[in-house]
Structure 1
Amino acid sequence: MDYTIIHEEKYQQFTAKLDNEEEAELAYATPEKGVLNFTHTFVPESYRGKGLAQQLIKHGLDYVREKEFKVIASCTAVQKYLKQHSEYEDLLQ
């Protein structure tokens, strides 16, 4: 299933709005200009195993590429995604 993901720059996260007012998120910090450090990914238990975390991460990485930023992957889910998707290696700081 494809989820609508929005960038909430104010909260430094990419968010998928789910049923029952639940949210999934990919949070980041900005340690320096032009760099996003993906710090954690959260998906409610009832949505796990459905590819939602991967969609959030892909969305975040595509945003980084579009803005010509670099990425730091502090989040283990993002680290795992990057190992499986070498097309994003050039984004690593």
Structure 2
Amino acid sequence: MADIKKGDHKFYIGDEEDPKAEITYIDVDADTLNVDHTYVSEDLRGEGIAGKLVEKMVNFARDEGKKIDPTCEYTKKKMEKTPEYHDVLAG
């Protein structure tokens, strides 16, 4: 699997300016991150990349001592269905 890299308010695979996959977030406040977008290119779909990006985001939030309030539908569903992620799920 391709390496997931940290960019400016995102984690991505490929080139930061034209990623093959990415998850993006914005700072809501000092304690909360809003994951607003997840994208995986067609050539990487079916490999579990979106789930790995959410996992990376969850671990980042834990390391930063923050919660995630997702507006991205995929991320929201993935976090709600994964009990191990509930510790960082806001609200």
Shorter-chain TM-score range? 0.7 to 0.9
SS at match of 1:73: coil
Q: Which residue of 2 aligns with 1:7?
A: 6
Q: In the alignment, residue 6 of structure 2 is paired with which amino acid? A: H
Distance 1:53 1:39 in 2: 13
Aligned residues: 88
Which of 9, 13, 17 is the matching residue for 2:14?
17
Aligned partner of 2:52 among 42, 55, 59: 55
CA contact (8 A) 2:12 2:19 kept: no
1:1-93 superposed matches below 5 A: 2-8=1-7, 10=8, 12-17=9-14, 22-93=19-90
Secondary structure, counterpart of 1:89 in structure 2: helix
Q: Alignment partner of 1:50: what SS? A: coil
Structure 1 position 22, deviation (Å): 4.6
What are structure 2's unaligned runs of at least 5 residues? none
**TM-score normalised by the chain length of structure 1:** 0.84
| Superposed displacement of residue 17, structure 1 | 1.6
Q: Percent identity?
A: 27
CA shift, 1:84, in A, is 2.3
Taking the aligned partners of 1:42 and 1:81, their CA distance within structure 2 comes to 14
Runs (4+) of structure 1 exceeding 4 A deviation are none
**Whole-Å separation in 2 of the counterparts to 1:72 and 1:6:** 22
Flag the structure with higher helix content. 1
